[in-house]
A and B are shown apart, each in its own frame.
Chain A
Amino acid sequence: MNTYNPITALLIFLAISVFAYLLFRPYKGWYWLIKTNSKSNGKIVVEDILKLLYHSENANKHLNLNDIIRTLKTNDTLIVDSINKMAAHELIFMEGDAVKLTKSGSDYALRIVRAHRLWEKFLAEKTGFDRAEWHERAERKEHELTKDETDILASKLGNPQFDPHGDPIPTNTGKIAKIKGTALSELTVDTIGRIIHIKDKPDIIYKQILAEKIHIGSLIRVVDKTASRIVFHSEGESFVLAPIIAGNITVSILEKDVVVEENLARLSILKEGETAKIIGISKEIRGESRRRLLDLGFVKGADVRLDLLNPLGEPNAFLIKGTSIALRNNQASKILIKKV
């Protein structure tokens, strides 16, 4: 205790804190890096290459070695090694300078795609992660799930057909449903349709679509279209998109006699004492939250009144089917109403 000095003690403490931060900070902490590295890195690269080849072959593009190296951001020797290994295991073969999948290679790739999409579905339905995180988490998880685990996951989720982006999930026998739809950018004015797919790549465009609060399952009606923009209504709001972005959204066209409610508003705009009729809940609310709202009586046709304003702005209480229920603004703003 002779050497004790408050400043030394504080400095030692600071050093330990910095070290702990470097070790455990999210994702980039040394501890996490070592943990992920210890898992076979080779396997991940192999599976990433398989996936890349699978998606390009689906789009009728053929990649050569250079394309692969350019697309995957891993070191080159690792990729070349992996390609050699994959050829030896007959997962791929060369045709000219194009790398192609064999039957067993494409089966393998399909399994990874299945794991990825199922995991995204799982994240969407059963966890509270933000949807901007789904893709990245699934990118990591797809390498960890075994075939049996994937099958168990699928049956837990009720063997879903589509992932939350609307992409089909391959079955365990490798069957894959077709998406029948038209790109939003191709629709003509006054077309009514339902959004069935939003491409999650490229990342920049996907994030932009997410920011616009456009979601799978919602009904849309195209109201205006020019060379530089496409305007459509959905869930009571108006959206303006550039064709390049609209091209990433797929819509299934509906018969004309489907009534798309116009002049919708959101429950959050109701003023004290005002009454409205509920038209529906936005497709943005899903899983447990959606079921809970329905159970509480926020169903199509129900009358709702703003019962009580909160002294802090939210949550406000709404009188629905005889009971006062408080909702936060992020919930109320996703319940579609028509004022009466």
Chain B
Amino acid sequence: MKNKNIEHIISLSNDLRWQIGDEFHDNLAEGIYADAAEIVKDSVHKTDEKNKLRLDARIDKIITSKIWGFPIMFLILALVLWLTIIGANYPSSMLAGLLLDTVHPALKAFASSIGMPWWLDGFLIDGVYLAVAWVIAVMLPPMAIFFPLFTLLEDFGYLPRVAFNLDHLFKLSGAHGKQALTMSMGFGCNAAGVVATRIIDSPRERLIAIITNNFSLCNGRWPTQILIATIFVGAVVPNSFSSIASLSAVIGIAILGIFFMFLVSWALSKTVLKGEVSTFNLELPPYRPPRFWKTIYTSLIDRTIIVLWRAIVFAAPAGAVIWLISNVYLGDQSMAAWLISSLDGFGFLLGLNGVILVAYIVAIPANEIVIPTILMLTVLVTGIDGGAGAGVMFELDSVSATGDVLRAGGWTLLTAINLMLFSLLHNPCSTTIYTIYKETKSVKWTVVASILPVIMGFIVTFLVAQIWRLFI
């Protein structure tokens, strides 16, 4: 009985909907706004009509002007990145000194004093602890600088204007102007960049922003780029130009990343994402002076700590795996050596080597530990002096000493350039992959976002290697 009546209501609503036609939504929206206008007319009074040229409008005129808009934007972005990279140096080395050079030996001494078996000691302290300590030392300081700066700009209201200024460029590649911001956020951390895509409310453009965020060189990769560029690119030019040359190489890689971001955005919007709904709207909110300390505090709690925690959760098992593969023997070779020799051929084709590929496989959880892993593995397979033992990641204090180890591992300028390219174009770290899955709730798009960049990395390094060998 009840059910029959309900079905009657539903079919009645169908009939009525047909009678009203497709104007329903328009009429309803207009009706509501008409009510709103009536209410406002009686209850709101604007006393000063002449105050049209608000402060907001004057600021907007400048930062969206043809002449000043772009220079201001680039200046701010450059300043934020510069503050992050330079400002993070000192606390980073302090943290490294504390966690790696003081706490680590202390832990080792403690372990041996209580007679811990060597494998447990190695697994826990050299593996898990070291990886976690490394991630904290490299990741925490830049994020603790980058995110608050970014959040201050956000709270002030500047970021929507950046999206406004740049939207046309992004539209050409089928993306949304707000992607400029998620991309910039990716320069800090891709996982945070992926979370930030929530501000894009059009499904198609949001997926594009998520999948292409990995092309922003993140915090964990800047140090790798800078180190390798300093050792190899800086060395090919006269001494006085070496810092300029290595700096331009790093910036070149970052710009190449932006280029790939546009290219892939365009390709995605024309192919697999063609059918996703696409809408556009961008509100330019009024400027509000940020409350400085509150902003710093909340951005540390909300962004930095959460991202760092996720990274630690993923880095710990990676440390364990790195230690295990270097210490578990299959026949007369460690698993690491065995993996390296089996990947050497493929690595050579890409202008890389087995060590690098193995390092990238075990370091999926965190880009921060790629260089220490490479150094450890290089020492392991070449048998040269240095390092701290099988499965113990290390870094050298001097850049030239690092260069010596790598050259002993057979590195050339080509290896260096291709490593820089591969560091840009490879799968996102597992923290980011996990975040992509949480944001899209789709296995399909997570797989696309993870596989696509690494395939591009293979193709690009392969082509560079062949052409290099042909002509140089």
A contact set with B: CB distance below 8 Å: 1, 4, 6-7, 9-10, 13, 26, 123, 126-129, 158-159, 161, 217, 280-281, 287-297, 299-302, 307-315, 317, 321, 323-328, 331
Question: In the assembled complex, which residues on chain A have CB atoms less than 8 Å from the CB atom of B166?
Answer: 312
A315 B177 Cβ-Cβ under 8 A: yes
**Sample of 14 more A-B contacts, CB < 8 Å, known A128-B278, A295-B29, A296-B281:** A13-B463, A127-B276, A127-B277, A129-B274, A289-B280, A299-B33, A300-B30, A313-B168, A314-B167, A315-B282, A317-B284, A323-B283, A324-B60, A324-B284
B14 touches A327 (CB 8 A): no
Given A317-B164, A328-B167: A294 in contact with B26 (beta carbons within 8 A)? yes
Do B277 and A311 touch across chains, with their CB atoms under 8 A apart?
no
Contact, CB under 8 Å: B275 / A308:
no
Assess the A311–B280 pair: CB atoms within 8 A: no
A129 in contact with B70 (CB, 8 Å): no
Contact A326 B277 (CB under 8 A): no
Whether B470 sits at the interface, judged by CB under 8 Å, is: yes
Question: How far apart sit A290 and B29, CA to CA, in the bound complex (Å)?
Answer: 11
| Residue among A309, A315, A331 with most chain B CB within 10 A | A315
Q: Which of A4, A288, A308 contacts B277 (CB 8 A)?
A: A288
Q: State whether A326 touches B282 (Cβ < 8 A).
A: yes
A301–B168 CB distance below 8 A: no
Q: Which 10 A-B pairs have the closest CB atoms?
A: A312-B168, A294-B29, A326-B282, A324-B284, A6-B466, A128-B278, A6-B469, A311-B66, A127-B275, A289-B279
A292-B167 contact given A158-B17, A324-B284, A325-B284, CB 8 Å threshold: no
Number of cross-chain contacts by CB at 8 Å: 131
Q: Are B277 and A292 in contact (CB under 8 A)?
A: no
Query: Given the interface contacts A159-B14, A296-B281, A300-B30, does A311 sit within 8 Å of B349 by beta carbon?
Result: no
Are B14 and A326 in contact, CB atoms less than 8 angstroms apart?
A: no
User: Is there a chain A Cβ closer than 8 Å to B87's Cβ?
Assistant: no
Q: When chains A and B are docked, how far (Å) is the Cα of A225 from the Cα of B171?
A: 41
Best-surrounded residue of A293, A311, A328 (most CB of chain B within 10 A): A311
Query: Contact: B69 with A311, CB < 8 Å?
Result: yes
**B466 contacts across to A, CB distance below 8 A:** 6-7, 9-10, 13
User: Binary interface profile of B, 335-370, with partner A (CB < 8 Å = 1, else 0)?
Assistant: 000000000010011000000000000000000000
Instruction: Establish whether residues B280 and A294, one from each chain, have CB atoms under 8 Å apart when the complex forms.
Output: no
Contact partner of B283 (CB less than 8 A), chosen from A4, A300, A324, A328, is A324
Question: In the complex the two chains form, is A6's CB within 8 Å of B470's CB?
Answer: yes
Shortest CB–CB separation between residue B32 and chain A, in angstroms? 9
